[in-house]
Amino acid sequence: MASILLTGANGNVGSEVAKSLTAKGVPFLVTTHRQEAVSAEKVYFDFEQATTFAPAFKGVEKLFLIRPPQISDAKKYFLPLIEAAKGQGIKHIVFLSVQGAESIKVVPHAKIEQYIKDSGIPYTFLRPSFFIQNLVNQHGDELRNENIIYVPAGNGKTSFIDVRDIGEVAAICLTEDGHANKAYTLTGSEALTYYDVAKIFSEELGRVITYTHPTLWAFRKHMLAKGLASSYVTVTSVIYLTALLGLAKQVTPELALLLGRPPRTVRDYAHDYRGQL
């Protein structure tokens, strides 16, 4: 039986972790919140139903943990989850955190990290910078239909990361020794403004992409009008605020050291996914 369990395997990062483990020939299980989808490879698990935690963790040694974007109450949902993981004897949690979680205590990731530390379960915290894929996943309508990048980051620089690289790092941490009780701040190899990103996208896509730099208030109003939850918009706004304030420009060597190669760049992403942009 596979001893690795992935949460969020259908998502942005989780799917890349699954691809990387598959490429390594490592068996794993994934969670599903649909009981009818349970199979030999899928176990029933619902972040909002604590009774599902212990059965899903039975026999699991390593857990890849992702916070669903709609869940912001870490104590209500993640504390019982981590207690269940400890009770079932999970030996290692690889948690997808966020850059700056060690100092930006208002993000739920910071509390989740602390709960994991307090549990005594060996951990690896992956603290990636802003996903370049989020420009499409969160703002793809504006990019494709209006040829604009609509985020409130001003002239602030961001060390963008490609989720494909995060997936590879997570697979390494889940399958190789030497990563217990460590936190990795993962970034790309360069810090760019959104004006830089717009220029790169324009060159790769063959059409003019404009960065419109809205205010935080205008951005929040726009996102709420799209029907997104207020808590989600708040967390997203805080992330962009860090860029606006110049706190997202840190570039670290950790990704390159872990992968043994340079990180993928914004230009690599724009080139590889130009058919979707």
Average pLDDT over residues 208-224: 93
Average pLDDT over residues 107-111: 90
Residue 55 amino acid letter: P
Instruction: Measure the CA–CA gap between 29 and 41, rounded to whole angstroms.
Output: 5
Residue 211 amino acid letter: Y
Is residue 241 very low, low, confident or very high in pLDDT (cuts 50, 70, 90)? confident
- Which of residues 79 and 277 earns the better pLDDT score? 79
Exposure string (b/e) for 218-236, b if CB count within 10 Å is 16 or more?
ebbebbeeeebeeebbebb
230-244 vs 216-225: helix axis angle to the nearest 10?
A: 150
Is residue 275 very low, low, confident or very high in pLDDT (cuts 50, 70, 90)? confident
pLDDT of amino acid 235: 77
Average pLDDT over residues 57-61: 96
Is residue 2 very low, low, confident or very high in pLDDT (cuts 50, 70, 90)? low
pLDDT over 70, % of the chain:
99
Average pLDDT over residues 190-200: 96
**Residue pLDDT, tens place only, 86-108:** 999 999 999 999 988 888 777 88
pLDDT of amino acid 138: 82
Q: Is the pLDDT of residue 31 over 90?
A: yes
Average pLDDT over residues 61-81: 93
pLDDT over 90, % of the chain:
79
Q: Which two tokens stand for residue 169?
A: 């790092």
Q: Which two tokens stand for residue 103?
A: 């100092």
Distance of CA 1 to the CA centre of its chain: 27
pLDDT of amino acid 53: 97
Query: Which residues partner with 5 through β-bridges?
Result: 29, 63
* CATH topology for the 4-127+163-185+251-259 domain: Rossmann fold (3.40.50)
**Residue pLDDT, tens place only, 123-163:** 999 999 999 998 888 888 899 999 999 999 999 999 999 99
Q: Is the pLDDT of residue 39 over 70?
A: yes
